[in-house]
Structure 1
Amino acid sequence: MPAWCAQANVPVMARVFLAGATGALGRRLVPLLLAHGHHVTGLARSTASADRIRELGAEPAAGDALDADSLRAAVAAARPDVVMHQLTDLASRDLAANSAIRVVGTRNLVEAALAADVRRFVVQSIAFAYEPGTAPASEDTPLDFTAPEPRQTTVRGIAELETQAARVESHVVLRYGTFYGPGTWYSPTGLMAEAARAGQLPANRDVTSFVHIDDAATAALRSLDWETGPVNICDDEPAPATEWVPEFCALVDAEPPAPSDQRTPFARGADNAHARGIGWRPAHPSWRISFRESRSAAHRM
């Protein structure tokens, strides 16, 4: 008989079904799960995805998060203790497509998990959908339901995602800050680096909470035995764009813009006190240090 974590109601060595195994986060999460003794099945929408999942050491399962029947069959065959939803659709910057993953994809994953009597559901959410304010938001801060479009599409998608996840009695909602690091938008080859080089990244008073992609993966691993509910996953230093944009521009060899006093009220950052209180510690506690270390490393090459 396997040992069980009573708090999370999952085995200490769990069978994990991971949707999003080949993404920037998933590629880091799979090896972590395997190293801790878990069995990982990754959802594969294509032969190429299946091959990448095998290369990571996990078992692929053919299916599509937007196809309820194929997904239900894949989850049933995997017999997981935990379903993890780390899927996004960000490559094209299409908010509607990403919202479909959050709404339809999450609903399908939850339905498949419930049908397979899965005991635990972990889902990727965001820590920048909170209502306007001046201080970093805690998990108790309401979402920004009165936001205009296009933000309204994002907030509604997040609200539906979290509502669906709550249908599984034991669930964790990982409200991630803005990802940075290899394979993300905020890397020297990412979309935001292109924006910075094109002079399209404003240095205003909007506050961002970052999280390194490696720390995001570690939080997902740790979430297997966390209590039910949302958790902000971000570093220790929420910062206005007047501070982080010049540092990012230096990292990606872009000309820094002139600073501005403009501020978007909902751009407030997030508080990671709860995550720290349950034992998560970011290995990269400050985007500032990480940006500078990455710049120094690049100059040494």
Structure 2
Amino acid sequence: MSKTIFLAGATGAIGQILSRLLIARGWTVYGSTRSESKTNQLSKMGVKPVVVDVYDAELLKEILADIQPDVVIHQLTDLPYALEESKMTEALVSNARLRTVGTGNLVAAAENAGCKRIIAQSISFIYDEGASPHSESDPLLPLTHPVYGETVEGVLNLERQVVESKTEGIVLRYGLLYGPGTGFDAPIAPGSVHVEAAAKAAELAVTGGSTGIYNVAENDGSVSTDKAQKDFAWDADWRENGKI
């Protein structure tokens, strides 16, 4: 029986941890990178490297048709390390484009390849004002928001494309990431999530849960993660070494 995953964003903070978890469970992982220089890093991780830009829709479609993955996981972002403030205005624009156009290309390629499930990274820290903890059905900030309006539009585009795809589509709304590779050693705001626990949620979502949206954040009263706990048995305190 085939157990193949295409992981877009395999060299990222989540992607590196997730690759280890998936390989340990017996999955063959194909990991994408835009840079030929990162193929050795992927190979050393036990990942089969694939050099492709998510904006190259035709090449992406050809590659996935050849691999025929059971699952496609979208962990791509276009944000500066440690969310460097001087770069964030430009990054919010490029990241919104990635969520819209890049996600569309991934979904189309996955559908064409006969993929069974798509799992995509979203965010849980753009809920609108209101009673907390916020559940997945609560409204997000308005599209007219002066800072995050474009981000909200990108998130809504990503989530719609994934959930409405011809495959089983799962969206993981991550809290603000902290931990190795993120630039933050501790939570920087309510609703954060450790990068290892975030990766674990994606691993669990490969075989658990069903089409829909899941909050993935720490239980600090800002967002509810009851759905992920129930459907995935996900635990925000999970760490690779078994300690918090």
> How high is the TM-score relative to the length of structure 1?
0.72
Residue 228 of structure 2 corresponds to which residue in structure 1? 275
1:23-62 alignment runs, 5 A limit:
23-62=12-51
Deviation by residue 1:241-295 (Cα, 9 ceiling, x = unmatched): xxxxxxxxxxxxxxxxxxxxxxxxxxxx31111111121112259xxx96xxxxx
Residue 231 of structure 1 corresponds to which residue in structure 2? 214
- The reply to whether residue 154 of structure 1 matches residue 151 of structure 2 is yes
Residue 5 of structure 2 corresponds to which residue in structure 1? 16
Residue 166 of structure 2 corresponds to which residue in structure 1? 168
Deviation by residue 1:168-220 (Cα, 9 ceiling, x = unmatched): 331110000111111114238xxx7xxxxxxxxxxxxxx62011000001000
SS in 2 for 1:208: coil
Structure 1 residue 78: Cα displacement = 1.6
- Of 110, 113, 122, 1:113 maps to 110
- Segments of structure 2 that go 5 or more residues without pairing to the other structure are 81-86
- Of 87, 92, 97, 1:95 maps to 92
Deviation by residue 1:21-48 (Cα, 9 ceiling, x = unmatched): 0000001000100000111001121112
How well do the aligned residues superpose, as a CA RMSD in angstroms? 1.9
Contact 1:107 1:164 in 2 (8 A): yes
Residue 134 of structure 1 corresponds to which residue in structure 2? 131
Residue 298 of structure 1 corresponds to which residue in structure 2? none
- The reply to whether residue 208 of structure 1 matches residue 190 of structure 2 is yes
Deviation by residue 1:123-161 (Cα, 9 ceiling, x = unmatched): 000111222213121011122234412210110000000
Q: CA, structure 1 residues 213+117, in 2 after alignment: closer, same or farther (shift >3 Å)? A: same
- Tell me which amino acid in the other structure corresponds to 2:180: P
Contact 2:143 2:153 in 1 (8 A): no
Q: From the CA coordinates, give the structure whose radius of gyration is larger.
A: 1
- Tell me which amino acid in the other structure corresponds to 2:199: A
Residue 180 of structure 1 corresponds to which residue in structure 2? 178
Deviation by residue 1:48-81 (Cα, 9 ceiling, x = unmatched): 2222211110101121111111211221222101
The whole-number CA distance in structure 1 between the counterparts of 2:41 and 2:109 is 23
1:64-83 alignment runs, 5 A limit:
64-83=53-72
SS in 2 for 1:142: coil
Count how many residue pairs are aligned between Structure 1 and Structure 2: 229
- Tell me which amino acid in the other structure corresponds to 1:74: I
Q: Percent identity?
A: 38
